[in-house]
Amino acid sequence: MRVLSVQIDQAGYDKDHLILSDIAFSVNQGDLVGLIGPNGAGKSTTIKAILGVLNEFKGKIQIDSKQNKYAYIPEQPVLYDELTLWEHLELVAAVNDMDMNSFPRKANQLLKRFDLLAKRDDLPGSFSKGMKQKIMIIINMMIDCDLYIVDEPFVGLDPLATKEFLDLIEERREQGAGILLSTHVLDTAEKICNRFVMLHNGRLVAKGSLNEIRASCDLPKGSLFDCFYSILKRNGGAR
C-alpha cells in the first residue's frame, strides 16, 4: 500500500523562481526511499513541495495515512528557547492527542536511547547541534505515523546516536511505516534504503532499487556512489 504519491509538474518559490519539474515517485508501507542528489539538486525543495509550503506548485501530492498524519524531521532543528526538553515533549504529546498515561514511559525510553535523560529539564539554548538534532528525532519518533519525512538527519549526530536513529527507522519500517530520507551520506543510504530517487537540476534523473539503477548505468556491481557519479556525468553534472 502506498503512503505517499508525488507528482510534481512544476514547483518553486515564486513564478520567476521555479526549481522543480517532472518529478514523480511513491513511498510504500515498509519502504525506506533515499532522496539523493548533489547540492542544489532540489531535494529540500521537493520536501517543501510535499509539505505544501511552496508558493508555486503544480501537480499532486497524496498522503495515504491515518488522519493524513505524518512526521517531519527537518535538517535545521526548530526548538523553543523558553521550553525545557521535557516541555517540548509534553507539547508534542498534547498536540497529537497522545495517551498521557503511556507518554512518560515512551518519552523517557527515547531520551535514554539518545543519552538525553539527564537533560530533560534543561533549556535547549545551550545544547549542541547534535543534541538539538537528537531532540528533533525524539519529538517525531514519539508519534506513531504511517509516513516519516526526514531531511539530512545525520549532520551533527555522533556514531552512537546515528546507530540508535537507524535502529528506530528499522523498527518503524517493520511496523509498516514508509520513510522518505533525504541524505548526502551515500554509503549509509546504500546500506539502509531499498529504493532511491535521484535528482539533478530540479529533475528526476533515476529511481528504483540499487540493482535497477545499476542496470540503467551498466554498472552491475557498482556502488551507489559509482552510479551517482555516472548518472551526474551523463547529465552534465560531474567533471
Is 60 exceeded by the pLDDT of residue 164?
Answer: yes
Q: What residues contact 52, with CB distance under 8 A and at least 6 apart?
A: 61
Cell numbers for 148, please give them: 516519516
The widest CA-to-CA distance across the chain, in whole angstroms, is: 57
Predicted TM-score (pTM) of this structure: 0.93
Average pLDDT over residues 146-175: 93
**CB contact at 8 A, 4 and 52:** no
Q: How far does CA 238 lie from the centroid of its chain? A: 25
Is 90 exceeded by the pLDDT of residue 236?
Answer: no
pLDDT of residue 237: 64
Cβ-based burial of 1 (10 A; exposed 0-12, middle 13-18, buried ≥19): exposed
Domains along the chain? 1-70+145-239 (3.40.50.300), 77-144 (no CATH)
pLDDT (tens digit per residue) in 84-97: 999 999 999 999 88
pLDDT of residue 100: 87
Average pLDDT over residues 6-31: 94
Spatial distance between the Cα atoms of 67 and 208, rounded to a whole number of angstroms: 28
Spatial distance between the Cα atoms of 86 and 6, rounded to a whole number of angstroms: 35
pLDDT of residue 64: 87
Is 80 exceeded by the pLDDT of residue 238?
Answer: no
pLDDT (tens digit per residue) in 26-83: 999 999 999 999 988 999 999 999 999 999 999 999 998 766 689 999 999 999 999 9
Q: What residues contact 235, with CB distance under 8 A and at least 6 apart?
A: 200, 201, 205
